[in-house]
């Protein structure tokens, strides 16, 4: 595990975009796993700038998003389809047919989930998976529970997630209660994983995930088993993990602030 501790959100976004850009240069037809939420917004803005300047090229890149709210049409302002169009896809030269986001209103949920996993597999898996983390340690919408679910599946959102996401809706009642999310198998099969977190609100989740026991009750803790995990966190999000001496000895830690 490599942990980069940077000063703030801006530096986290810069570093993350640089890592993604390097992978895109290394492999033109990169299979890129993408996340939504406030965390990656700045990273997407940087990537859009780089693309505008001709420094990176999305023309052969294929993307797979982690999740979508169940019941939201693609056009809905809070859908992750809309988020991705707004923050990245409309700003770079990616081919729409190369972008994949789970359907929010699928005709057949089971088949849709199955097809999503098959499509990822058919391309040889994800090369680089970008992840944010929930306050409760979720990745994608893999919420805390009794088991790690391997396949793309329907997930019931926990109260913590409904509370956290209510800020984006008129009220908490409007937050969809379920989602379709990529499961742990496609995430863990990614050749490289880039986990981002910013702000003191994420300090506990980061510490529990990277330093605590591996348990489905802290879904991101499974990432400790990945052999190419890069973590980019800002000073505030790093507060607790930096105190975990054993983890810090095991990881390669780079501080730049
Ligand atoms: P956030 O969400 O980036 O909006 O904090 C992260 C997540 O819930 O995975």
Q: How confident is the model at residue 82 (pLDDT cuts 50, 70, 90)?
A: very high
Asked if 63 and 129 touch (Cβ cutoff 8 Å), the reply is no
Decide if pLDDT at 186 tops 90.
Answer: yes
- Segment 59-88 shows an average pLDDT of 98
Q: Is the pLDDT of residue 39 over 90?
A: yes
What is the distance in A from the centroid of ligand 1 to the CA of 188? 19
pLDDT in tens, 119-175: 999 999 999 999 999 999 999 999 999 999 999 999 999 999 999 999 999 999 999
**Domains assigned to the chain:** 10-196 (3.40.50.1360)
**pLDDT for 240:** 97
Classify residue 171 by burial, with Cβ atoms within 10 Å: 0-12, 13-18, 19+. exposed
- Neighbouring residues of 110: CB distance < 8 A, sequence distance ≥ 6: none
User: Band of the pLDDT at 219, cuts 50, 70, 90?
Assistant: very high
**How many residues are listed for the chain in this entry?**
257
- Our mutation pick for probing the ligand 1 site, out of 12, 33, 41, 164, counting the most ligand atoms within 8 A of Cβ, is 164
Atom 7 (ligand 1) nearest CA: 134
Residues with CB under 6 A from ligand 1: 37-39, 132-134, 138
Nearest ligand 1 atom to alpha carbon 201: 5
* Strands lying side by side in the sheet with 153-156: 67-69, 178-181, 153-156
Q: How many angstroms is it from 198 CA to the middle of ligand 1?
A: 10
Q: How far is the CA of 80 from the centre of ligand 1 (A)?
A: 12
138 close to 39: Cβ distance less than 8 angstroms:
no
Q: What is the pTM of this model?
A: 0.97
Q: Quick one: pLDDT band at residue 257, thresholds 50, 70, 90?
A: confident
Position 228 scores a pLDDT of: 98
- What is the chain's mean pLDDT, rounded? 97
């Amino acid at each position: 595990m490599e942990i980069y501790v940077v000063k703030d959100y801006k530096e986290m976004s810069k570093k993350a975009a640089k890592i993604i850009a390097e992978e895109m240069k290394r492999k033109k037809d990169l299979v890129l796993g993408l996340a939504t939420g406030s965390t990656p917004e700045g990273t997407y803005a940087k990537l859009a700038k780089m693309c505008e300047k001709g420094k990176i090229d999305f023309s052969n890149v294929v993307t797979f998003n982690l999740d979508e709210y169940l019941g939201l049409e693609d056009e809905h302002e809070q859908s992750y389809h809309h988020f991705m169009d707004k923050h990245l896809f409309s700003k770079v030269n990616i081919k729409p047919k190369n972008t994949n986001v789970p359907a929010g209103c699928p005709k057949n949920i089971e088949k849709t989930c199955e097809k999503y996993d098959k499509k990822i597999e058919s391309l040889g898996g994800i090369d680089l998976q970008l992840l944010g983390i929930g306050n409760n340690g979720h990745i994608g919408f893999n919420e805390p529970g009794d088991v790690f679910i391997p396949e793309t599946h329907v997930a019931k959102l926990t109260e913590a997630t409904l509370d956290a996401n209510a800020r984006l809706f008129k009220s908490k009642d409007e937050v969809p209660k379920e989602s379709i999310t990529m499961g742990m198998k496609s995430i863990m099969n990614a050749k490289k994983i880039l986990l981002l977190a910013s702000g003191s609100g994420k300090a506990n989740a980061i510490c529990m995930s990277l330093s605590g026991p591996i348990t489905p009750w802290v879904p991101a803790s499974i990432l400790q088993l990945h052999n190419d995990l890069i973590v980019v966190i800002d000073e505030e999000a790093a507060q607790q993990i930096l105190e975990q001496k054993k983890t810090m000895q095991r990881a390669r830690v780079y501080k730049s602030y």
